[in-house]
Amino acid sequence: MSSGEVFINTEHLTRDFRIGKDTLRAVDDVSFELGRGETFGLVGESGCGKSTLGRLLVRLYKPTSGKILYKGKSVANLNKRESFEYTKDVQMIFQQPYASLNPRMTIGEIIKEGMRIHQLGSAKEMSERVSGLLNMVGLNAEHANRFPYEFSGGMRQRAGIARALAVNPEFVVCDEPISALDVSIQAQIINLLKRLQSELNLTYLFIAHDLSTVRYISDHIGVMYLGSIVEVANAEELNINPLHPYTQALISAAPIPDPAKENERVRIMLEGDVPSPINFGAGCKFAGRCKFANDNCREEAPALRKLPSGHAIACHRMEEINMVE
Amino acid sequence: MIVIIEIKDLRVSFHTYFGEVQAVRGVNLKLNDNDTLAIVGESGCGKSVTALSIMRIHNMETTEFKSGKILFDGTDLFKLSEKEMQNIRGNQIGMIFQDPMTALNPSMTVGNQIAEVLLRHGRDANAKRLSSKDAKERAIELLRRVKTPSPERRANQFPYEFSGGMLQRAVIAMAMACSPKVLIADEPTTALDVTVQAQILDLIKEMQSERRVSLIIITHDLGVVANIAKNVAVMYGGLIVESGAIGDIFYRSSHPYTRGLLDSISRKNGAKNEPLRSIEGTPPDLVDPPAGCPFTDRCEYAMRVCKDHMPPESALSETHLCRCWMLDPECPLKLERRKL
């Protein structure tokens, strides 16, 4: 578990994309921190910027402004050697096990590629390590000679995990690693990720759109909406006592697999879809769908503020809303 | 109760490069009037193939209906000509597809696509075919009914101008255009976000009670099932392994696979550091399906008999059917009752 030190953190991280004349702000002024050996869960609906944030952390994208600090050092200021080291230390598990493995390479070659680039041992040592990794993720050594198309989704995701772990990373960004898998397979992969974390002392950023999974694997959870983190809390606390109206709606919208409970409960229904993040004006981004929104909400964007309980929330009317309930 | 759709011993195979895939291997199902039946299972279990067989919209070059019949209001759908079938599709049986982005024609306005259904099947008060003007008006009315904001403007827009949730509303409008007796929804909310999913499920339920339509919903999400279904059929390896009223499946499930599915999603009460209960292994290959119970390889209770002999369907109550050797009176093993 966490040793208390800040392992990786971001400060006012922002990323824009140009779309013709318009600007899409995918990640907007995001600051959060993550201790070593911890799992930070990041939830939100499609288009909220959670994957972009993950990709910023593995440096697949460059930030427009703000910075990422890795063990206290700004990632943008790393020299060439340190940068190279960073690509080894920080790995990613992708959402689509079908699209993220090169179809022309065998599973063994895919796993070995990173090791070869980082020169982690002789050819023989690498082959041995591939067998070891395949066993570790629940595949067989003989699978190294197979091609991705011969595998089912769950097996591919295991191969993707072996690939990420091949270079001994310290930090792994898991970008919706189970959402493309069947229910009975999802539990297998979650158990695997948890076991590997405790064996290898890994730090995870776990991205998902489904709170129930994230709750199980995470220590802390951040909820994103249109590029901003609107609420951060301890995983249990967030599920039992969500304070932001968006988090409350998100939890309320997820169907409970129990017909009696499902029929009884009262849903907080959100109107409409998530609005477009292009050229967003001032004010709280959730104001358009929030039943508590007033003029102040529409004019001034709320900052993420920390409460004495450790909960952090970006909402002007948090106190009034949660008094009512 | 009036049975509106009855599937008897349906067997469907696909001829592929790898051989004959036996996607559905003897399915019996009944859908009552004004009922909601959920077909649940993982990818490749045959749930979509079963439901699409009702519409007969498979690629007929590779698909073979090996046996069985599907009775719709007493008519055997397999005996109808293609032309007769066209009068049923979209008219008496409506369909909602999984991905609204691919279910609609990208080069046609949404309004015209809804109007197309009405032009083909719709009749006015005097049983006359609709004029294109009337059809367009009705299309706008339908868009309004499914809560599309400013439907007049939206009707003239193309699918790419809609969000996923709005498109699925348009698809529902299209499916409901001719007030069908049966609506088949194939994973209608899988491609949508949770907050939008909740809206769409509510809309489907609303339309259902308003127009008294019977619904078949295909899903892998037991949360969606709990929300909408009255009866449930659980499929595995091309077979229905357990079926019953919603309470039979959620509170009295008797098949180890159903139990495993329920266990693997019950993350609510599990202690944090305890591993999730998962079902190890993967579903069987339907090119060469096992002779016995398809779940044998993944079942923690598997006995010798399971491997080679198909378990018979046991009736646990009037509504509740289950295919498992443990229900045989001579079997010493019993399914452990675990608290969810």
Judged by CB atoms closer than 8 Å, whether chains meet at B276 and A253 is answered as: no
Residues A59 and A90: their CA atoms lie apart, in Å, by 9
pLDDT at A53: 96
Interface membership of A319 toward B (CB under 8 Å): no
Parent domain of A80: 6-324
DSSP code for B161: G
SS (H, E, C) chain A: CCCCCEEEEEEEEEEEEEECCEEEEEEEEEEEEEECCCEEEEECCCCCCHHHHHHHHCCCCCCCEEEEEECCEEHHHCCHHHHHHHHHHEEEECCCCCCCCCCCCCHHHHHHHHHHHCCCCCHHHHHHHHHHHHHHCCCCHHHHHCCHHHCCHHHHHHHHHHHHHCCCCCEEEEECCCCCCCHHHHHHHHHHHHHHHHHHCCEEEEEECCHHHHHHHCCEEEEEECCEEEEEEEHHHHHHCCCCHHHHHHHHHCCCCCHHHHHHCCCCCCCCCCCCCECCCCCCCCHHHCCCCCHHHHHCCCCCEECCCCCEECCCCHHHHHHHC
Residue B214 has φ and ψ, to the nearest 5°, of: -85, 140
Q: What is the complex's ipTM, to 2 decimals?
A: 0.81
pLDDT at A12: 95
Residue B148 has φ and ψ, to the nearest 5°, of: -85, 125
Sign of the CA dihedral running B89, B91, B94, B95: positive
Residues A50 and B52: their CA atoms lie apart, in Å, by 36
Test the B interface: residue of A182, A238, A263, A265 with most B CBs within 10 Å:
A182
Q: Residue A200: is it exposed, middle or buried by C-beta count within 10 angstroms (0-12/13-18/19+)?
A: middle
Residues B169 and B144: their CA atoms lie apart, in Å, by 10
Nearest CA in chain B to A48: B193
Quote the distance between the C-alpha of residue B258 and its chain's center.
17
> Can you give the CATH number for the domain in which A199 is found?
3.40.50.300
pLDDT at B332: 85
Please list the residues that pair with B6 across neighbouring strands.
B30, B71
pTM (two decimals): 0.88
Instruction: Collect all residues with Cβ–Cβ distance below 8 Å to B172 and sequence separation of at least 6.
Output: B96, B146, B188, B200, B203, B204, B207
pLDDT at B271: 56
Judged by CB atoms closer than 8 Å, whether chains meet at A262 and B280 is answered as: no
Interface membership of B267 toward A (CB under 8 Å): yes
- Count up the domains in chain A and report the number: 1
In a domain, A1, yes or no: no
Q: Count the alpha carbons within 13 Å of A212 in the hemisphere toward its beta carbon.
A: 21
Q: Single out the residue of B4, B6, B24 nearest to residue B14, CA to CA.
A: B24
Residue type, B309: H
Test the A interface: residue of B195, B199, B201, B274 with most A CBs within 10 Å:
B195
Interface membership of A194 toward B (CB under 8 Å): yes
Nearest CA in chain A to B260: A184
| Distance from the first to the final alpha carbon of chain A | 34
Interface membership of B300 toward A (CB under 8 Å): no
3-state secondary structure of B285: coil
Interface membership of A117 toward B (CB under 8 Å): no
In a domain, A308, yes or no: yes
Interface membership of B201 toward A (CB under 8 Å): yes
> Which chain A positions have a beta carbon within 8 Å of B195's beta carbon?
45, 249-250, 253, 270, 274
The sheet carrying A65-70 orders its strands as A22-35, A6-19, A65-70, A73-74
Stated as kind and residue range, the H or E segment containing B19 is: strand B19-32
> Which chain A positions have a beta carbon within 8 Å of B201's beta carbon?
255
- Chain B (230-249) residues lying within 8 Å, Cβ to Cβ, of chain A: 246-247
Burial B57-78 (b: 16+ CB within 10 A, else e): ebeeeebebeebebbbeeeebe
In a domain, A201, yes or no: yes
Judged by CB atoms closer than 8 Å, whether chains meet at B282 and A152 is answered as: yes
Minimal CA separation from A285 to chain B, in Å: 16
Those residues of chain A that have pLDDT short of 70 are 1-4, 324-325
pLDDT in 10s for each residue of chain B, 340 residues: 899 999 999 999 999 888 999 999 999 999 999 999 999 998 889 999 999 999 998 888 899 999 999 999 999 999 999 999 999 999 999 999 988 888 999 999 999 999 999 999 988 778 888 999 999 999 999 999 999 989 999 999 999 999 889 999 999 999 999 999 999 999 999 888 888 999 999 999 999 989 999 999 999 999 999 999 999 999 999 999 999 999 999 999 999 999 999 988 765 545 566 778 888 888 888 999 999 999 999 999 999 999 999 999 999 999 999 999 999 988 888 887 655 4
In a domain, A122, yes or no: yes
Q: Single out the residue of B53, B60, B63, B13 nearest to residue B29, CA to CA.
A: B53
In a domain, A301, yes or no: yes
In a domain, A175, yes or no: yes
Q: Are B162 and B110 in contact (CB under 8 A)?
A: yes
Residue in B223, B280, B340 closest to A255 by CB: B223
- Indicate the angle between helix axes B132-145 and B110-121, nearest 10 degrees: 120
DSSP alpha helix (H) spans, chain B: 47-55, 82-88, 100-103, 110-121, 132-145, 151-155, 164-176, 194-211, 222-228, 246-251, 256-265, 304-308
In a domain, A26, yes or no: yes
